[in-house]
Amino acid sequence: MKPQARGRHTSKRGKFARNKTNQVHQRAPLASFRGPGYNDGAHVTLDESKVGIQCYRCPNIAGFTGIMKQRYSDFIVREVDTNGAIVSLTELSRNSTPSTKTVSNPKTLCELLTQTIVQFLPLSQHKSMETPINTLVKSIFASWKSLRKLQRETTTQRKIKEVQDLITTELNSVIIAGQMTQFLHKMLHTSGTNENSDFAQEVFLFSEVKDKAARTRIHQTIRTRFGHAIVSDTIANKEGVSVIRLRRLFVSGKKRKDVDRREANRWDKDRPEFLEFTLYKRNMDTNVVMASLARAIRCRVSNFGFAGTKDKRGVTTQRCTLYHGSKEQLERLNRLDRSLDEFNFLVGNTRFVPEKLKLGDLNGNHFSITIRDVCSSSETVLHDAISAWKEHGYINYFGLQRFGTRSIPTHEIGQALLRQNFKEAIDLIMRPQSGDPSKIRQAREKFQQQRDVQAALLEFPPYLVAERAILEGLERHGTNALGQAVQCIPRPLRMMYTHSYQSYVWNRAVSERLTKFSSEHPILGDLALPSDFDLVDEEVLLVDLDDAKVEKRRKSEREVVPVVITEENQNQYRIQDVVLPLPGYDIKYPQNPLLSFYEILMASENVDFQKLTQTMGGEYHLPGSYRHLIRRAKNVEYEIKRYDDPSIALLPTDVDKLQERSVQASIPDGKMVALCLQFELGTLSILSPPFFSKQKPLGRSSYATIAIRDLMKQQSNCIESTCKPETSVVQTHVAVEC
């Protein structure tokens, strides 16, 4: 169901129609959503069983309790590139240019430099040495300023001479060249003139230049030598003859008037088109950092490329690319007037590369995780748990983050959408939810009772994207146009809902498979793909709004054909090779009782993927995919540390390494115990026929929290803290065995 055009008049629009009169009043100021009543919400987590997570890989191996992500530096993620190398920030160019406008004042510059030098002296000498150092700095600055002025004048004279020689040669006229030289001197050495003055209106006109190549050479020479101050263009004189005109360039406020931009975006043809750099960030979303970078260097967000988004709550390092990027612009962001620990993100390790990074262009991620306040009966329990985890792996469930952060999981909304029950989907999105701030709860309850769309638009904050999109759709198309209102939700968000339902069915099928049948060996009718092969992650497709591109990428996965386990080939496969399908219209299901489980589950929820045609939209027309039942972490290393101070880092970040700063070693008699764990998830390998025939698909992400859940035998919503260093709370939970 697709929305009607915005400007189309229909009988459904009625009093909720968007018009010039009421459109202005549909959004309250953002500041009004930051006051009391909007910040008193409570953190709500889903119960794992509600999304099909029920089993542990080795339920007979004892687990332990602890806290993950107590500090941001307790969760360090470094990308593993397609060559298998761990991405780290090892080179950092820092720009010494102060960032504030006031520092451009010579007096302020001298004071800043004086203060910087004094800081290197013993404290007892600060007061006595400040005046002589300031005098010396002023003297040096004055000499440097005189030298810079002399250099600029010399450079200007050289450039004028080059242009003079060119004009003499091209026009064969020393007189014209001399007149032009006088004009350039006047324009370049006169300052402080208003652009409306007589001086500003002065121009220099060449005599007719018939040779087009000669005109081009003159324009290019003027532009490359004096493009910052002189404009060169071609106009028709009084006789209608095309002549070259030179005039002064003026800049008023933020507008550059009459700027010649034909050469503004020149790019060296021998230089690769993309600047690759390493992004180090702390407690920030990848997309938020990209938006900040785009604002800082004044480019489009779409100019950036990256292989995947990284966790917000942690310290992460990844490779990114920037189309026609400037190293100098990026280096300016790493200012010298701030400590490295003060930056929320840093950029470095720059180089030019021929191709843009795209989502999925990675082999996986390397994790360095600190689990604090570990509580177990003995260290032997920890060693045994890690040994079993390394050998047997973990159940590859979709983690809780796949199902949203509110009390109503996203798969329930996806289920309603796949049934084309738009009323139910809207009710699920709009209804009051546990943990809502008080004013948002009141707004939800009021809308439920009164259905006043315009009043709700004033009360729902902009960050409730789906809710506001629905309200705007109801206002635009009418309160009965439910399908059109749902289509107003941004497409990636709609796709997240439907993919969440697929993930829910997959989780339920996994628990059914491991509860009812062998967890150590494949059974007849299982589907298998080699365990070291990863499949296309539907999350990669969420950001691609082009249906044709999405379908092309899905097609590459549909070329993957899993093998059905039979008596003849059963000995060739392990439990790690078994895959289960995410349901869709073009997928192979297991040839055993699990087939009936899929059919009964989806029939009970009235979802039929075969009936969802492409005309309904790509978010409903889902072919399905495959996912491995069991995964194993690679390159696992660990250390058990004792410590006393919960605010001290136990594993080094890239900034720690850049500053050659060591982390806390284990204290023999420390009061608390931490497990420092390092491992990799999601490594790719080449897969040979008969499994697939053409290109290699992209890597599917694995959930680190799900892997740690299986290690600790704890529900994943019980092992994450709120990233407050001052807290030190032991989480306890009883393991549930299948």
- Looking at residue 257, its pLDDT comes to 47
Confidence band for 578, pLDDT divided at 50, 70 and 90? very high
- Looking at residue 381, its pLDDT comes to 94
**91 close to 349: Cβ distance less than 8 angstroms:** yes
Sign (positive or negative) of CA dihedral 479, 484, 486, 491:
negative
Average pLDDT over residues 380-402: 94
Q: 483 and 531: one domain? A: no
- Looking at residue 577, its pLDDT comes to 94
Residue 474: give its domain's CATH number: 1.10.1510
Structure tokens at 361: 């262009």
Average pLDDT over residues 420-449: 93
pTM here is: 0.71
| pLDDT at position 382 over 60 | yes
- Looking at residue 194, its pLDDT comes to 54
Residues 6+ apart with CB under 8 A from 329: 296, 297
Confidence band for 520, pLDDT divided at 50, 70 and 90? very high
Q: pLDDT averaged over the chain?
A: 80
8 in a structural domain: no
Q: 426 and 351: one domain? A: no
Q: Which residue has the higher pLDDT, 668 or 121?
A: 668
| pLDDT at position 351 over 70 | yes
Q: 468 and 536: one domain? A: no
- Looking at residue 107, its pLDDT comes to 56
Residue 326: give its domain's CATH number: 3.30.70.3160
- Looking at residue 338, its pLDDT comes to 76
719 in a structural domain: no
Q: Which residue has the higher pLDDT, 13 or 307?
A: 307
Q: 177 and 297: one domain? A: no
| pLDDT at position 738 over 80 | no
The widest CA-to-CA distance across the chain, in whole angstroms, is 99
pLDDT tens digits, one per residue of 20-65: 334 434 555 665 777 788 888 887 888 899 999 999 999 999 999 9
What is the three-class DSSP state of 558?
helix
24 in a structural domain: no
Phi and psi at 627, nearest 5°, equal: -145, 140
Q: Which residue has the higher pLDDT, 724 or 212?
A: 212
Least confident of 20-34, 342-356, 442-456: 20-34
Average pLDDT over residues 130-158: 82
Q: 130 and 235: one domain? A: yes
238 in a structural domain: yes
pLDDT tens digits, one per residue of 669-686: 999 999 999 999 974 433
Last residue of a domain, one of 610, 628, 646: 628
| pLDDT at position 693 over 50 | no
Average pLDDT over residues 289-294: 91
Confidence band for 67, pLDDT divided at 50, 70 and 90? very high
Rounded distance between C-alpha atoms, residue 307 and residue 472, angstroms: 33
- Active-site position among 311, 361, 544, 654: 311
Residue 178: give its domain's CATH number: 3.30.1370.50
| pLDDT at position 733 over 60 | no
Q: 589 and 533: one domain? A: yes
32 in a structural domain: no
- Looking at residue 444, its pLDDT comes to 94
Strands 563-564 and 230-236: unpaired
Q: 121 and 227: one domain? A: yes
CA atoms within 13 A on the CB side of 634: 16
What is the DSSP secondary-structure string of 391-441? HH-EE-PPPGGGG-SSSS-HHHHHHHHHTT-HHHHHHHHHS--TT--HHHH
Q: Which residue has the higher pLDDT, 515 or 144?
A: 515
pLDDT tens digits, one per residue of 613-670: 665 666 688 888 899 999 999 999 999 999 999 999 999 999 999 999 999 899 999 9
Q: Which residue has tokens 């220099």?
A: 204
Confidence band for 360, pLDDT divided at 50, 70 and 90? confident
Does 270 participate in catalysis according to the annotation? no
Last residue of a domain, one of 311, 336, 362: 362
Confidence band for 532, pLDDT divided at 50, 70 and 90? low
| pLDDT at position 11 over 50 | no
Rounded distance between C-alpha atoms, residue 363 and residue 474, angstroms: 44
| pLDDT at position 697 over 60 | no
Q: 468 and 556: one domain? A: no
pLDDT tens digits, one per residue of 70-98: 898 999 999 999 899 999 999 987 654 44
Rounded distance between C-alpha atoms, residue 74 and residue 55, angstroms: 26
Rounded distance between C-alpha atoms, residue 580 and residue 595, angstroms: 10
- Looking at residue 544, its pLDDT comes to 43
Domain containing 142: what range? 116-189+200-248
pLDDT tens digits, one per residue of 493-509: 899 999 999 999 999 99
Q: Which residue has the higher pLDDT, 720 or 151?
A: 151
Last residue of a domain, one of 470, 489, 508: 489
508 in a structural domain: no
- Looking at residue 329, its pLDDT comes to 86
Of 685, 681, 647, 678, the C-alpha closest to 663 is 647
664 in a structural domain: no
The strand pairing partners of 370, in sequence order, are 676
Structure tokens at 408: 């109503």
Q: Which residue has the higher pLDDT, 613 or 167?
A: 167
Q: Which residue has tokens 């750099």?
A: 277
Share of the chain above pLDDT 70, in %: 79
- Looking at residue 489, its pLDDT comes to 92
Q: How many domains does the chain have?
A: 4
The strand pairing partners of 580, in sequence order, are 627
Average pLDDT over residues 534-548: 46
Least confident of 261-270, 388-397, 438-447: 261-270
Q: 482 and 536: one domain? A: no
406 in a structural domain: yes
Structure tokens at 287: 């997309």
- Looking at residue 421, its pLDDT comes to 94
Of 421, 423, 552, 531, the C-alpha closest to 480 is 423
Q: 356 and 404: one domain? A: no
**363 close to 683: Cβ distance less than 8 angstroms:** yes
Q: 339 and 286: one domain? A: yes
Confidence band for 721, pLDDT divided at 50, 70 and 90? low
Average pLDDT over residues 248-252: 60
- Looking at residue 201, its pLDDT comes to 67
Q: 592 and 549: one domain? A: yes
